[in-house]
Amino acid sequence: MLSSTASLYAFLSLSSALTITTRGNAGYYYMPVEFDYDPDSRVTAELTFGSADKEPIQVVMDTGSSDAWIWSPNGTIHWGSNYLGAVGPCNASVPTPYNPSLSSTAIVYDHNSTYAYAGNAKIVSGAQYVNDTLTATNGSPIPNVQIAMENYGTLRQLDDGSCKIPEFDRGIIGLAPYTNTTSGPAFRQNLFDAGLIATRTMTMWFDHTTTSLSKLVGGVIFGGIDTSKYTGELIQVPNVIADYQIGIYIPKPNVTINGQTFVPDQNTTCLLDSGAHADYIPFDYLSNMTSQFLAASNGTLIQYAGVIGFNGSCENIPSDLNITYTFPGVEEGKSVSIDVPIKNYARGLQTPPDADMGDICLFNLESGGCQFGAPFLSGAFMGLDDEGAEIWLAQGAVSAEGQGVSGSLKVFEAGEGFGSL
C-alpha cells in the first residue's frame, strides 16, 4: 500500500545486537498468501496470534510499508469526513479475535505508534506493543514476534448519513526493505536479529491457476527460496529507491501485448507493492500511448472512466492473453520478462448494465504513474535481500496450486543469497 513517504513519528529504532539462538525452526519460515477475488484485495495472509486464538486474522503482506500492526481488543475506527485527518461523525468498534490478556505467551508493553497510508487517507495509532507467537495456517509458529496494537483508526471516507461500516485493514505486516528510517516493528529485520533466519531474505510467489475469476494462492518464505516456484532465470533488477522513499522501487519495464511492445513514455520509477490492489502502467496521461496499447489488444481491452477493462463480461476473458513486462537486469545485457494473464486483473467489478457500451469487466489496472501491485505479483516471483538492497524477479505462476514448500527448498546460510544459487 502506498504509505506516506515518512511516517508521522519517525522513531529511530535501530536493532539491538545480533543474538544467534537456536529455537528449533528449520532456519526459514513459510506462510501461504492469497489474492482474493475482490476489487480491494491485496496480497494477504491468514495469521493467528498468541496461544489462545484459533480464528486467524487476514493481514496485508505489504512490501510498500515497513511496520507491523494489528488491532487491540478495544480498537475503534472513525470516518465520514472527506478532510484529511479530520475525525468524521461515524465510528465503530473493531472486532478482533486476538486478546493478549488471554494469551499465555503475550508480553504487552507501552509503546506509542502511528502509521499513515495512502497519502494519509488511512491513519491508525496505538499505545502498546505486544510480543507474541505468530502462526500462519500450515506454517510453523514464530515465537516472540513484535507487533504494534492499534486502538484508533481514521479513514477518509465520505458517508451518506447511514454510517455504513467501510472496508478497512485488519492488520498490516510491513515487509519493505529495512532502512535507517524504519520505525517498526520491523518484522523481517526482527526475525533476523532474533537469529530465526540467517539472511535478511524474503521470496514471494503465486501458483499457477487453472481456474478463472477466483482467489489466487501462493506463498512467502523468509530466509530461503523454493526454486520450483519460478521458471527461467532469476534476474537481479536495479534498485532505484530514492533516499526519501519507503518500499521497493525498480525501473519502468517495456510493456508487450499481442506481440506489440511499448516503451512507456512517462519518466518515472515503479513501486513494487504487494499491499496495492492495482497496477499502474507509466503511459503519460497527455500522450496517446494508452490508446495505442488498447488498440494493440485488438479490441479486447478498453478504457472506462480511466480504468482499463475487458470489452465483455468477466466470464469471457480469454485465458491465454498476457501483458508482458520486461525489466532491465543489473547485469549488462540481461533482462527479465514477466507474463501476467489479463484474467488476473479481473477482481469482480463489472460496469453497470445500463452503459450503452455493453458489458465491461473492469480491471485492477490503470495507466499513469507506476505501480506493480498484487495483480503483477500474481504472475511474478520476487526475491528481496536487504543485505545489499537486492531485488530479484523471475516468471512465476508455474507451481501447482496450493502446493506449499516443495523439495526444491533451499535455506540460506549466513552470507548466502540469490546470487549464490
Ligand X SMILES: *[C@@H]1O[C@H](CO)[C@@H](O)[C@H](O)[C@H]1NC(C)=O
Which residues would be at the binding site for ligand X (CB under 6 A)? Answer: 16, 72-74, 78, 91, 107, 112, 127-128, 131, 144, 146, 151, 180, 190, 194, 243, 254, 258, 263, 267, 288, 291-292, 295, 298-299, 302, 311, 320-322, 326-328, 335, 339, 395
Secondary structure letter of residue 98 according to DSSP: -
Residue with Cβ nearer ligand X (163 or 409) = 163
User: What one-letter code names the amino acid at 413?
Assistant: E
Map residue 319 onto helix, strand or coil: coil
Tell how far CA 364 is from the center of its chain: 14
**Cβ at position 388, least distance to ligand X in Å:** 13
What stretch of H or E contains 322? Answer: strand 322-328
Q: How many CB atoms lie within 10 A of CB 420?
A: 9
CA 417 – CA 174 distance, rounded (Å): 21
CA 61 – CA 245 distance, rounded (Å): 18
Residue with Cβ nearer ligand X (318 or 419) = 318
Residue with Cβ nearer ligand X (138 or 292) = 292
**Cβ at position 235, least distance to ligand X in Å:** 10
Residue with Cβ nearer ligand X (63 or 395) = 395
Please return the burial class of 27, using the count of CB atoms within 10 Å of its CB with bins 0-12, 13-18 and 19+: middle
Residue owning grid cell 445500463: 354
Look at residues 97, 77, 63, 78 and name the one whose alpha carbon lies nearest to residue 172.
Answer: 63
**Cβ at position 243, least distance to ligand X in Å:** 6
**Cβ at position 137, least distance to ligand X in Å:** 22
Residue with Cβ nearer ligand X (213 or 409) = 213
**Cβ at position 189, least distance to ligand X in Å:** 8
User: What one-letter code names the amino acid at 234?
Assistant: L
**Cβ at position 138, least distance to ligand X in Å:** 23
Look at residues 205, 201, 147, 203 and name the one whose alpha carbon lies nearest to residue 178.
Answer: 201
Residue with Cβ nearer ligand X (320 or 354) = 320
